[in-house]
């Protein structure tokens, strides 16, 4: 069982490591394909683009960080307000629509 995301990194002949990374076609964020380890299952977590329930996921969030002393593990984030995909502002929904159309144009060739 993996103990760390580093277990997912392949040692490379000649030194160094090879890390597989994926760039999000929506926002451009680049991150390792395998990241972290699930506390619950011990499995290495992998980037997926199909796991969010877009009917209910709080894509926009207004949050408050509630500190409990310096570097305390009891610090927590409180969700003050949120919006689902359908509730996002029109300009953001427009950006998402345009980018989804570009993605579909390429994938459906």
Q: Give me the residues that bind Zn ion (CB under 5 A), please.
A: 24, 26-27, 29
In the complex, minimum distance from the CB of residue 48 to Zn ion, in angstroms, rounded to a whole number: 12
Which C-beta is closer to Zn ion: that of 26 or that of 62?
A: 26
In the complex, minimum distance from the CB of residue 29 to Zn ion, in angstroms, rounded to a whole number: 5
Which C-beta is closer to Zn ion: that of 76 or that of 97?
A: 97
Rounded to 5 degrees, φ, ψ at 8 are -85, -5
Q: Which residue is nearest to Zn ion (CB)?
A: 24
How far apart CA 44 and CA 82 sit, in angstroms, is 29
In the complex, minimum distance from the CB of residue 57 to Zn ion, in angstroms, rounded to a whole number: 13
Which C-beta is closer to Zn ion: that of 24 or that of 75?
A: 24
């Amino acid at each position: 069982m993996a103990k760390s995301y580093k277990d997912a990194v392949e040692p490379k002949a000649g030194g160094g490591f090879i890390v597989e990374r994926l760039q999000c076609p929506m926002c451009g964020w680049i991150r390792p394909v395998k990241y972290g380890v699930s506390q619950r299952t011990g499995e290495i977590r992998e980037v997926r683009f199909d796991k969010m329930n877009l009917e209910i996921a709080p894509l926009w969030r207004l949050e408050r960080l509630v500190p409990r002393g310096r570097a305390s593990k009891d610090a927590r984030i409180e969700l003050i307000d949120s919006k689902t995909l359908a509730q996002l502002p029109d300009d953001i929904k427009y950006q998402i629509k345009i980018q989804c159309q570009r993605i579909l144009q390429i994938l459906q060739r």
